[in-house]
Amino acid sequence: MNSKSSPSSPCPHKAKFTHRFLRALARINKNRPTSSSHPEICKRSKRIKIAADASMASAVGCRRAWSRVMLWRLRNRTRYRSLTWSRVIGLKKKKKKKISDHMCNKQQGELSRADRLRQLVPGGEAMEFCNLLDETAHYIKCLNTQVQVMRNIADFYSP
């Protein structure tokens, strides 16, 4: 056995993610407002979440469908928000009109497990079930890595 080999980590892109996330945190801290009001704290936490997602997706690159979708959403954030909002409003109007059509074999509002999973994984809406499971497993590994890195940063800066 080679003594130089490193143990396998849950996500092989951990070092890239950590480096990119720390750089993003440094940029966020550089522009830190002097007030610590509730709206400012909310904006700051949203920026940190976006930085964590962007770092994770860019560390993985375009190899995975979820990371491609997440990078696309981050690049087109304002346009995507307006499209999603108009889509949600349109869906609400359609639901009211077609309540009886949705009552086929399922109760209204009930989704299959696969459909619920498709909603959770970025880009999962258009995936076949086997690909969806593979992407979900990889996405969960990367989310776990993201949590570990953020926990380590919090532990380092905690008294």
Question: pLDDT of 84-115, one tens digit each?
Answer: 656 656 655 555 444 444 444 454 457 888 89
**Boundaries of every domain in the chain:** 14-100+113-157
Q: Tell me what pLDDT residue 1 has.
A: 40
Percent of the chain with pLDDT strictly greater than 90: 42
Tell me the per-residue pLDDT of 48-95, one tens digit each, with 9 for 90 and over.
999 999 999 999 988 899 999 999 988 887 665 666 656 656 655 555
Name the percent of the chain lying above pLDDT 70.
Answer: 70
Give me the residue label for tokens 């696969």: 114
Average predicted confidence (pLDDT) for the chain: 79
Q: What is the pLDDT of residues 6-19, one digit of tens each?
A: 445 455 688 999 99
Q: Is the pTM of this model over 0.85?
A: no
Give residue 158's pLDDT band: very low, low, confident or very high (50, 70, 90). confident
